[in-house]
Chains A and B, each alone.
Chain A
Amino acid sequence: MSTAISPPHDVPAETRTNYLNASYGIRSWLLTVDHKRIGILYLISITFMFMIGGFAASLMRIHLLEPQGALVQPETYNRLFSIHGIVMVFFFLVPSIPATLGNFLIPIMIGARDVAFPKLNLLSWYIFITGSCFVLFAIVSGGVDTGWTFYAPYSSTFSHTSVVAAALGIFIAGFSSILTGLNFVVTIHKMRAPGMTWFRLPLFIWAMYATSLIFILGTPVIAITLFLLGLERILHVGIFDPAIGGDPLLFQHLFWFYSHPAVYIMILPGMGVVSELIAAFSRKRIFGYAFVAFSSLSIAVISFLVWGHHMFVTGQSVYAGLIFSVLSFLVAIPSAVKVFNWTATLYKGSISYQAPMLYALGFIGLFTMGGLTGLFLAALATDVHLNGTYFIVAHFHYVMVGGAVMAYLGGIHYWWPKITGRMYPDLWARIAATIVFVGFNLTFFPQFVLGYLGMPRRYAVYPAEFQVLNVMSSAGASILAIGYGIPLIYLIWSLKYGAPAGPNPWGAKGLEWTIPSPPPTENFEEMPIVTEQAYNYAGTEEEGHHG
């Protein structure tokens, strides 16, 4: 049924009123309260931030071609990795899928006209932009060299860079996350269409709900932590300074109380996207729907209990270390359950290899590796050796880039026809996906070896025996950069020259594919009434689903 839908009223897509052509002009965008337009605003903003973070990463990889440093002074290198981390974590990965795809899709997927608080949604974007401006200001006003972790007392007392501006930027952007999470939780609770019960929700919604919980419960803690850090730096008095009995490890506790769950802010939405992609491109309901749904929630909860595994070598109590270690293993279980269920979904499916599916399958493989190498770091004895080395860098890039960014790109490709009404050239997209996969592995796999050999991270110069692996990594990074550049070109190209997509180019299930592409401002002409489970590809035709 889904494949054969024609646009309602047989109006050509070009002339039908949709959210993109409903009004024109910069004001109509900057003052919009339409969740879809706000999603686009975020898309543009975070793409810009991604380029800044990516530029910093490129410079770092060029610099590391030579043991003595090929490009910049160590002071500059320190600023580069700090900017890379701060921008990529707080201004790209955290808002990536939630603020773009989440904003665009949550109301449509649950059959609502908008999020619960549209004005608050726009305010979130402005807050995000304000936070970004502070960080950009920190970059141009001398940079910041604390790393994205801002460990006291280096950041509070010793660094001579724009720490306050950067911390303030993250503090402000945190409120954007909080308000977005608040909006999503209320929307998912209160705005579902008739018949859209919790167990009929797409898994993307479950994942976004779990993510929102972390936004709400974790973000305020990083906000207060950076607030205290900023005050300590400005007033030269405070509570982390060991000179007056302060405990720098308390800063790390507070920091990781948010920042470990934040890892799941980045990966959970990716898991949600991948669930959608796997279902759509194998035309099957996700195997073990309830297990995948609940694993999202359990990941969100357990993620708050494991932060101490970042602190095994810091002088944290041995006993606390043991507790955090066992809980860290616990969080591996729901992740494993997801991977197995996704793989099982492929069984007896009808699998097509369009670009989004390639990203999704790449995600499963890379996330599996990223997750399993996490075991080395949850295990106390091996963590002692690997903590603070390139092994960590490789591990979290497998999860963050191989996982979250792959899923983000897959999601952008999958819903691009819905967002813009245009198709992109699938061949180019598949080529790009392959290049990204190859480039990614070449960049980050050598770093596992580097870490095991003992090369510490955040080193501007390094012993010569590590050079070969570093050169391999830098070579991979250049391939990866090409892989990220290609989609940017053809996606922009498709805005003007892409073939019209039609409402459901993939033959996928879900409310978003029942409405025209691009969707009208109000999403649904008539309120949908849901009568079937998500991903009901094989099910009997239950009409009433769409008008």
Chain B
Amino acid sequence: MSTYVGVFLALLVGTALTTWVAYIDLGAFNTVVALVIAFIKMTLVILFFMHVKYNKGLTRIVIVAAFFWLGIMMTFMLADELSRNWTPTVSTWNTILPFLR
């Protein structure tokens, strides 16, 4: 009971905090801070409201797998999008794999 209320209050504080921070100029870190807070809030909900703190391994494997796959999707797609305009010069290629001439 008290755990639930504690988590609940933490979530509300997180919401207030994330909104407040948005009005402060942190440059690129605004997004980072917002996402870190969101991540913490998610972890709280999963651990306590969704009882994962008290569940066995299998549940955790499912959760980790889902986020791992989401990570695969994001990483590889971003990898393409961000490096798409790089054209390899022969010299960079030489430094990566020198034996390729």
Which A residues fall within an 8 A CB radius of B? 189, 217, 221, 247, 249-250, 253-254, 257, 304-305, 307-308, 315-320, 323-324
Whether A250 pairs with B72 at a CB distance below 8 angstroms is no
CB distance from B64 to the nearest CB of A (A): 12
Whether B65 pairs with A189 at a CB distance below 8 angstroms is no
In whole angstroms, how far apart are the Cα atoms of A189 and B82 in the complex? 40
Whether B83 pairs with A257 at a CB distance below 8 angstroms is no
In whole angstroms, how far apart are the Cα atoms of A304 and B80 in the complex? 15
* B87: chain A residues within 8 A (beta carbon): 318
Whether B65 pairs with A319 at a CB distance below 8 angstroms is no
CB distance from A303 to the nearest CB of B (A): 11
In whole angstroms, how far apart are the Cα atoms of A247 and B85 in the complex? 14
Beyond A253-B77, A317-B84: 4 further Cβ-contacts under 8 Å?
A249-B80, A305-B72, A315-B84, A319-B83
* A319: chain B residues within 8 A (beta carbon): 79, 83, 86, 88
Interface centre among B72, B76, B77, B85 (most CB of A within 10 A): B76
Whether B73 pairs with A257 at a CB distance below 8 angstroms is yes
Whether A308 pairs with B76 at a CB distance below 8 angstroms is yes
* B76: chain A residues within 8 A (beta carbon): 253, 305, 307-308, 320, 323-324
In whole angstroms, how far apart are the Cα atoms of A428 and B12 in the complex? 71
User: What string of 1s and 0s marks CB contacts (under 8 Å) between B14-44 and chain A?
Assistant: 0000000000000000000000000000000
User: What string of 1s and 0s marks CB contacts (under 8 Å) between B50-65 and chain A?
Assistant: 0000000010000001
Interface centre among A189, A247, A308, A319 (most CB of B within 10 A): A319
* A249: chain B residues within 8 A (beta carbon): 80
In whole angstroms, how far apart are the Cα atoms of A319 and B83 in the complex? 7
A-B contact pairs, 25 of them (CB 8 A): A189-B58, A217-B69, A247-B81, A249-B80, A250-B81, A253-B77, A253-B80, A254-B77, A257-B77, A304-B72, A305-B72, A307-B76, A308-B76, A308-B80, A317-B79, A317-B80, A317-B81, A317-B83, A318-B83, A319-B83, A319-B88, A320-B80, A320-B83, A320-B84, A323-B76
* A253: chain B residues within 8 A (beta carbon): 76-77, 80
Whether A318 pairs with B88 at a CB distance below 8 angstroms is yes
Interface centre among B73, B80, B84 (most CB of A within 10 A): B80
Whether A250 pairs with B77 at a CB distance below 8 angstroms is yes
Instruction: Give the interface size class of chain B.
Output: 10 to 19
In whole angstroms, how far apart are the Cα atoms of A237 and B92 in the complex? 41
Task: Answer yes or no: B66 CB below 8 A from chain A CBs.
Answer: yes
* B81: chain A residues within 8 A (beta carbon): 247, 250, 317
Interface centre among B77, B86, B87 (most CB of A within 10 A): B77
**Which residue of A is nearest B88, CB measured?**
A318
* A247: chain B residues within 8 A (beta carbon): 81
**Which residue of B is nearest A319, CB measured?**
B83
CB distance from B24 to the nearest CB of A (A): 30
CB distance from A405 to the nearest CB of B (A): 29
A318-B86 contact given A189-B58, A247-B81, A253-B77, CB 8 Å threshold? yes
* A316: chain B residues within 8 A (beta carbon): 80, 84
In whole angstroms, how far apart are the Cα atoms of A308 and B73 in the complex? 11
In whole angstroms, how far apart are the Cα atoms of A254 and B70 in the complex? 12
CB distance from B49 to the nearest CB of A (A): 22
In whole angstroms, how far apart are the Cα atoms of A320 and B86 in the complex? 11
* A221: chain B residues within 8 A (beta carbon): 73
**Which residue of A is nearest B87, CB measured?**
A318
**Which residue of B is nearest A253, CB measured?**
B77
Whether B79 pairs with A304 at a CB distance below 8 angstroms is no
CB distance from B55 to the nearest CB of A (A): 14
* B66: chain A residues within 8 A (beta carbon): 217
**Which residue of B is nearest A318, CB measured?**
B88
In whole angstroms, how far apart are the Cα atoms of A189 and B73 in the complex? 26
* B80: chain A residues within 8 A (beta carbon): 249, 253, 308, 316-317, 320
Whether A320 pairs with B79 at a CB distance below 8 angstroms is yes
CB distance from B46 to the nearest CB of A (A): 18
* A189: chain B residues within 8 A (beta carbon): 58
* A308: chain B residues within 8 A (beta carbon): 76, 80
Q: Which 5 A-B pairs have the closest CB atoms?
A: A320-B80, A317-B83, A317-B84, A319-B83, A217-B69
* A320: chain B residues within 8 A (beta carbon): 76, 79-80, 83-84
CB distance from A399 to the nearest CB of B (A): 23
Q: Which of B58, B73, B86 contacts A317 (CB 8 A)?
A: B86
In whole angstroms, how far apart are the Cα atoms of A249 and B72 in the complex? 17
